[in-house]
Amino acid sequence: MNQDTICALATAQGVGAIGVIRVSGPQTIDVVQKIFKGKNLHQQPSHTIHFGTIRDDQNLIVDEVLISLFKAPTSYTREDTIEISCHGSDYIIQKILKLLLKNGARLANPGEFTQRAFLNGQLDLAQAEAVADLIASDSEASHQTAINQIRGGFSKQIAQLRESLIHFASLIELELDFGEEDVEFADRDDLRQLIHRIQSVLVPLIDSFEMGNVIKNGVPTVIVGKPNAGKSTLLNRLLNEEKAIVSDIAGTTRDVIEDELFIEGIRFRLIDTAGLRKTNDTIEAIGVERTLQQMEKASMIIYLFDASEISLKEIEEQIQSFNAPYVLVGNKQDKLSVNQKQEFEKAYPAIIWISASENQNIESLQKTLVQKVKTKEIKAGDTVVTNLRHYQHLLQTSESLNHVLEGLSNSITGDFLAQDIRFALHHLGEITGQITTDDLLANIFSKFCIGK
Ligand code: GDP
């Protein structure tokens, strides 16, 4: 398959100042030269740029272009690669792609350039996956973690751990070869120490996933409360736009509205809900049902109530059913007298008192939300696991190593130790791609865009 020469638009679809078409594979220079009038590309050194024209079958000019030439193995894919920078018209781009196809290239599959980079040893699997994350990054934090991973920080650590473990695995396998004879090539104390050392690397990585997941996917946050508590008003206030329908007829927000809000770089996926109350209206009942479903999925719950109708008993009953961190928020504090407010603040210090419509104390709510999420501060350069697949393999590695430790304490035989070490090696290898299956690769790269 790698003998094919592939091509695809690498820039976004649609009109732009320029479009970049990428071509990679052994026939790249031949194929492009057939439609390019300018210098002889075969004779040009790698990493050079050449001006010329793309011509169609009738030798008519399709566009004036720049050709960026990267010769194997010093390209992203480690194959001969050309990037054609043309004018960003859909018509021109389609025309050039068709000419490339006609002259021997085929259209690339999603992620195929990066897949080739991986297969040719330019990137390991974790780095290749980080390329997709980098393209998808939309906040400082998600960008930072993806860049760290592409630079190989995470992969290097995993590869080193794996190396040190392979050494022990081979010693223990050697013992097995001696069968009945009572020999121990692998020093059990050294092995125990090594496993503790590996666990001290694995555990922080595993723990970082919770925060990594927050960085990558945001925090699903639902706003719940009785109808008319001011949920839609608060949502609008937080988002600074009129998104939900605000009305004083109870039960007007019937559907679930979702939007994103960044506070201190953390993405909160805000979900406004129809509110919680018993109702005979069928449509509203569906809304209440959805609210309950959303609460199941939420990582954070903002429980909003009307401070002028406070009934803590009711709230206490409800929050018992929450299984995510929650923030209690008393809204409409503007309706309270100064005395009432002071009394409330003293009696219920955990409650945040705001006025959504009067824009009072919203900042303190935002701060509390961030505090609840930030279990751990992430410093620049910290390795954070953001990928579920990596997380699962790290967990399984750690479990297997715990089995080895248990085995060592119970002085079990080498063959059982060897088996658990092999499991650990397998899972570490799956992270960086030293062990892969076609299904795994297909699954990972199919999620990429075409042209990457
Ligand atoms: P929801 O049903 O919980 O979404 O409530 P809405 O956001 O639709 O608000 C219900 C009513 O309460 C509207 O008339 C809002 O203008 C009003 N409201 C919302 N927040 C405040 C507040 O902080 N103070 C006062 N006085 N009224 C508010």
C-alpha dihedral sign at 441, 443, 448, 451? positive
Distance, CA of 253 to CA of 304 (rounded, Å): 15
- Which residue has its alpha carbon closest to ligand 1 atom 13? 248
* Amino acid in position 308: S
Pocket probe mutation, ligand 1, options 223, 231, 245, 246, max atoms within 8 Å of Cβ: 246
Q: How far is the CA of 322 from the centre of ligand 1 (A)?
A: 24
Give the CA angle between residues 92, 70, 434 to the nearest 5°.
110
Count of CA atoms in the C-beta half-sphere (13 A) of 401? 29
Q: Which atom of ligand 1 is nearest to the CA of 331?
A: 23
Per-residue pLDDT tens digits of the chain, which is 452 residues long:
468 999 999 998 888 899 999 999 999 999 999 999 999 999 999 999 999 999 999 999 999 999 999 999 999 999 999 999 999 999 999 999 999 999 999 999 999 999 999 999 999 998 998 898 888 888 777 888 888 888 876 788 888 889 889 988 888 888 877 766 677 777 889 999 999 999 998 998 888 887 777 777 788 888 888 888 998 899 888 887 544 445 454 544 444 556 888 888 788 888 766 555 555 666 666 666 666 666 667 788 899 999 888 777 777 777 777 777 889 999 999 998 888 888 888 888 889 999 999 999 999 999 998 888 865 555 555 678 888 899 999 999 999 999 999 999 998 888 888 899 999 999 999 998 888 788 878 888 888 888 88
pLDDT on residue 98: 96
Report the amino acid identity of residue 378.
I
- What residue owns the CA closest to ligand 1's atom 9? 230
162 lines ligand 1 (CB under 6 A): no
Q: What is the distance between the alpha carbons of residues 346 and 416, in angstroms, rounded to a whole number? A: 61
Which atom of ligand 1 approaches the CA of 252 most closely?
2
Q: From the CB of 224, is ligand 1 less than 6 Å away?
A: no
pTM beyond 0.85: the answer is no
Distance 306 CA to ligand 1 centre (A): 8
Atom of ligand 1 at shortest distance to CA of 229?
3
Whether the Cβ atoms of residue 53 and residue 38 lie closer than 8 Å to each other: yes
Q: Whose CA is nearest to atom 24 of ligand 1?
A: 332
Residues 6+ apart with CB under 8 A from 166: 425
Whether 155 lines ligand 1, by a CB cut-off of 6 Å, is no
Cα–Cα separations (whole angstroms), residue 336 to 108, 308, 341, 350, 364: 64, 6, 6, 18, 19
What's the 310 CA to ligand 1 centre distance in angstroms?
15
Ligand 1 geometric centre to CA of 314 (Å): 19
- Strand ordering across the sheet containing 300-306: 257-263, 266-272, 219-224, 300-306, 326-331, 352-353
Q: How far is the CA of 283 from the centre of ligand 1 (A)?
A: 21
Single out the residue of 441, 417, 427, 422 nearest to residue 202, CA to CA: 427
What is the C-alpha to C-alpha distance for residues 434 and 436, in angstroms, rounded to an integer? 6
Class of residue 345 by CB neighbours under 10 A (exposed 0-12, middle 13-18, buried 19+): middle
DSSP conformation letters of 328-360: EEEE-GGGS-HHHHHHHHHH-TTSEE-BTTTTB
Pocket lining: 232 vs ligand 1, CB cutoff 6 Å: yes
Q: What angle do CA 307, 310, 311 make, to 5 degrees?
A: 160
The alpha carbon of 251 and the centre of ligand 1 are apart by a number of angstroms equal to: 12
Angle at 195 between CA 193 and CA 197, to 5 degrees: 70
What the block records as the tokens of 350 is 């955990």
335 lines ligand 1 (CB under 6 A): yes
pLDDT at 415: 84
Q: Is the CB of 357 under 6 A from ligand 1?
A: yes
275 CB within 6 A, ligand 1? yes
Which residue's CA is minimally distant from atom 10 of ligand 1?
228
Q: Which atom in ligand 1 lies closest to the alpha carbon of residue 236?
A: 7
Distance 229 CA to ligand 1 centre (A): 6
340 lines ligand 1 (CB under 6 A): no
Query: What is the reported pLDDT for 255?
Result: 46
What pLDDT score was predicted for residue 308? Answer: 86
Return the pLDDT at 375: 57
> Atom 2, ligand 1: which residue's CA is nearest?
228
Kindly give the distance from the C-alpha atom of residue 373 to the centroid of ligand 1, in angstroms, as a whole number. 27
pLDDT, tens digit, 9 for 90 and up, residues 106-159: 999 999 999 999 999 999 998 998 898 888 888 777 888 888 888 876 788 888
Distance 316 CA to ligand 1 centre (A): 22
What six digits make up the tokens of 10?
A: 């690498």
Q: Say if residues 117 and 72 touch (Cβ distance below 8 Å).
A: no
